[in-house]
Amino acid sequence: MVSNGFLLKIIPKQASTAADIRARIINAARHLFLGSGFRSITMADIAQEIGISKKTLYANFSSKDTLLGAVLEQKFDQIETDLDLVLSDQSVSFSEKLKVMLATFHRHIGEIKPAFVRDIQRSDGTLFQKINQRRQCIIRKSFGRLFEAGRQEGFIREDIAVPVLVEILVGITVNFVTPDVLVKLNMTADQAFSQLMCIFLDGILVKKHP
């Protein structure tokens, strides 16, 4: 007969293994979906990528759409976590925070390849709507905090309210960094966001003269 103490030791290990498998599935799907698009990638491709059976894969995610949702959730959660770490560091100046935040955005957006953008363009619109809503929330939260810090340190123009600046940035991003526009301009999401931020920041930062 197995003691209760032995069972308590076994259960956490089983839970950890299940969580590890789920994490591996999401990481593999993220690499394949964002790099090669999600339309051409099958569940069999993902199972083969990490060496598990399709049965195990479907036991964790009932469909490719469900898995895609988990991938996007993980992606956005990571972006928010990375930005929060930068913004929460009180020892870092506004200019340094801005530099690191932009680098963080470039790194995350750079993971999204043209094939994924094209697949979003060909979807029914619901997927892009969900992505857009989460993207707007992140911009409002993160850049709102950043611009407030910049205003206090004298880097952000005082003649425009911070909420207005944030909504301008949201509006530009929503209308410029979209699948249709990226395809039309033959640009990656990272290239489009970089150019957008250069133009936007040039208009709101206080010019420091030596």
Q: Under 8 Å CB-to-CB from 92, ≥6 apart: which residues?
A: 86, 100
* Low-confidence residues in the chain, pLDDT < 50: 1-16, 209-210
Per-residue pLDDT, 35 = 93
Per-residue pLDDT, 208 = 62
Per-residue pLDDT, 82 = 94
DSSP type of residue 174: H
Q: What is the CA radius of gyration of the chain?
A: 21
Tokens of 7: 């069972």
User: What residues are paired with 156 via a beta bridge?
Assistant: 205
**Domains of the chain: residue spans and CATH:** 4-204 (1.10.357.10)
24-53 pLDDT, tens per residue?
Answer: 999 999 999 999 999 999 999 999 999 999
pTM (2 decimals)?
A: 0.81
Tokens of 24: 């591996």
- Measured CA to CA, the distance from residue 141 to residue 133 in angstroms comes to 12
